[in-house]
């Protein structure tokens, strides 16, 4: 079916209807165990941690969309990321994007480090810095592009090539782009990871994680770890992700179109110091992003001028939800310093350029005129003095 275009494959895939009943929505197999005819006859399924038909449908659909051989669904993005990191062993070293998702930073520095997995954080947009940081025991290069929250862009093909040369694997967190806009496996990555909580499910109603691998031997290893560690996605939640996925293209295209317009609007606003969005020609990763992805996406971040009171601005904004998370039907505004990156010390945060005046906006499906109007009103009413909490 893969000769069909992406939007068609979201609907017309192996799971367009149930082979048993013809149901056009994948049935929710709300069961923990499966009847076995006798001690020597094993069915396809035996226990839902090891395999559940609803979860499996999602795993097959995401594997197809990411051009991989096998998909795995987990109870959250962090469960997908943490389980995949279990491919590493004591004494291994991981090289990782420096402005990576806060939860990933936490699991690498506070959990994996206790088990003897070493780490180095580098600015992955600097390929020389990546090469310099490689050690003989480097087993994984972990990339987030565009990164969070500064939308820094990493040249995926180049980093995968560096990894291969050193016999290391490349893991890519593709949450911000989704397979609609970027296919890391086709650019040489070995594992692609998602917080499906975000764009893939898309409605702020479920936490879920996905991993897709490129080759059969990795599939076997990750399948073993998924079952061994046990952080699997429940059948109801797998169904919610499957339902969200059907409208990925129409949702994300609208959101991304709105985000481009918001980025252009904020970029010329006198109260804004800087806008980070890979669709702006002044963004340092503009060219690389254009080459490896088909759209800059629906997330941007911006810094208010120092004299603008952040708290006053936030109290004047009415449309976006002020919350952690992103990639939903509604716009979400968040404050990385105290939300997604609260797990990072102030020094670590500032070293990475995540200032105390930075806000991240995940643009939803609202009418663009309403969004711009809301921001315009808020800027007009915002007090101009330093008043950070």
Ligand X SMILES: *Cc1c(COP(=O)(O)O)cnc(C)c1O
The catalytic site residues sit at: 49, 101, 173, 198
Least spacing, CB of residue 68 vs ligand X, in Å: 18
Residue pointed to by tokens 């939903």? 328
Closest CB to ligand X among residues 48, 82: 82
Query: DSSP 3-state assignment of 321?
Result: strand
Spell out the alpha helix ranges (H) of 268-345.
286-292, 310-316
Written as six digits, the tokens of 65 are 């969309």
Among 84, 207, 334, 362, which residue interacts with ligand X (rule: CB under 6 A)? 207
Q: In angstroms, what is the minimal distance from the CB of 281 to ligand X?
A: 24
Encode 209-223: b = buried (16+ Cβ within 10 Å), e = exposed.
bbbbbbeeebbeebb
Q: Which of 82, 145, 195, 331 binds ligand X (CB under 6 A)?
A: 195
Q: Could you give the string, one character per residue 159-188, with x where binding to ligand X holds by CB under 6 A and - elsewhere?
A: --------------x-x-------------
CB of 100 to ligand X, least distance (A): 8
**Structure-block tokens of residue 389:** 């909490």
Q: Which is nearer to ligand X, 10 or 81 (CB)?
A: 81
Select the residue interacting with ligand X from 71, 179, 209, 244 (CB under 6 A): 209
Read off the tokens for 70: 């096998």
Nearer to ligand X (CB atom), residue 210 or residue 378: 210
The verdict on 197 binding ligand X (CB under 6 A) reads yes
Cβ-contact 69, 63 below 8 angstroms: yes
Q: Which of 76, 154, 301, 357 binds ligand X (CB under 6 A)?
A: 76
Verify binding: residue 364, ligand X, rule CB under 6 A.
Answer: no
Q: Checking DSSP bridges between strand 209-213 and strand 191-195, what pairing results, if any?
A: antiparallel
Instruction: Using the structure block, give the residue that is written with the tokens 């069909």.
Output: 4
Q: Does 64 bind ligand X (CB under 6 A)?
A: no
Give the separation between CA 182 and CA 100, rounded to whole angstroms. 18
- The alpha carbon torsion through 7, 12, 13, 16 (nearest 10 deg) reads 130
Structure tokens at 164: 């291969």
Stretch that binds ligand X, among 97-105, 270-278, 286-294, 364-372 (CB under 6 A): 97-105
Q: Which residue has the tokens 């059948």?
A: 235
In the complex, the smallest distance separating the C-beta of residue 148 from ligand X, rounded to whole angstroms, is: 5
Residues near ligand X, by CB under 6 A: 76-78, 101, 103-104, 144, 148, 173, 175, 195, 197-198, 207, 209, 326
């Amino acid at each position: 079916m893969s000769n069909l275009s992406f939007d068609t494959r979201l609907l017309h895939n192996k799971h367009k209807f149930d082979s048993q009943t013809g149901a056009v929505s994948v049935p929710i197999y709300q069961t923990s165990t499966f009847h076995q005819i006798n001690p020597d006859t094993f069915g396809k399924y035996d226990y839902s941690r090891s395999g559940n038909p609803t979860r499996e449908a999602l795993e097959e659909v995401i594997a197809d969309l990411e051009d991989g051989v096998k998909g795995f669904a987990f109870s959250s993005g962090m469960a997908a990321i943490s389980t995949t990191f279990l491919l590493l062993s004591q004494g291994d070293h991981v090289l990782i994007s420096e402005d990576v998702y806060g939860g990933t930073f936490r699991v690498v520095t506070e959990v994996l480090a206790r088990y003897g997995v070493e780490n180095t954080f580098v600015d992955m947009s600097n390929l020389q810095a990546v090469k310099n940081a490689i050690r003989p025991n480097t087993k994984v290069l972990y990339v987030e592009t565009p990164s969070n929250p500064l939308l820094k862009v990493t040249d995926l093909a180049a980093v995968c090539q560096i990894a291969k040369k050193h016999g290391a694997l490349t893991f890519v967190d593709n949450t911000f782009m989704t397979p609609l806009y970027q296919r890391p496996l086709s650019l040489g990555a070995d594992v692609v990871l998602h917080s499906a909580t975000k764009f893939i499910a898309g409605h702020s109603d479920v936490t879920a994680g996905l991993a897709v691998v490129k080759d059969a031997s990795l599939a076997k290893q990750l399948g073993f770890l998924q079952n061994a560690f046990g952080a699997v996605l429940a059948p109801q939640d797998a169904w919610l992700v499957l339902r969200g996925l059907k409208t990925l293209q129409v949702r994300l295209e609208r959101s991304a179109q709105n985000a481009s317009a918001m980025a252009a609007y904020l970029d010329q606003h006198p109260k804004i110091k800087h806008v980070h969005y890979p669709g702006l020609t002044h963004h340092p990763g503009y060219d690389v992003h254009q080459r490896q992805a088909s759209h800059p996406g629906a997330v941007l971040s911006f810094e208010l001028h120092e004299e603008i009171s952040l708290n006053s601005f936030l109290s004047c904004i009415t449309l976006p939800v002020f919350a952690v998370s992103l990639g939903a039907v509604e716009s979400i505004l968040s404050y990385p310093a105290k939300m997604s990156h609260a797990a990072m010390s102030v020094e670590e945060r500032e070293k990475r350029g995540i200032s105390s005046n930075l806000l991240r906006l995940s643009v939803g499906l609202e009418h663009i005129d309403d969004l711009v109007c809301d921001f315009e009103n808020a800027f007009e009413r915002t007090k101009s003095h330093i008043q950070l909490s």
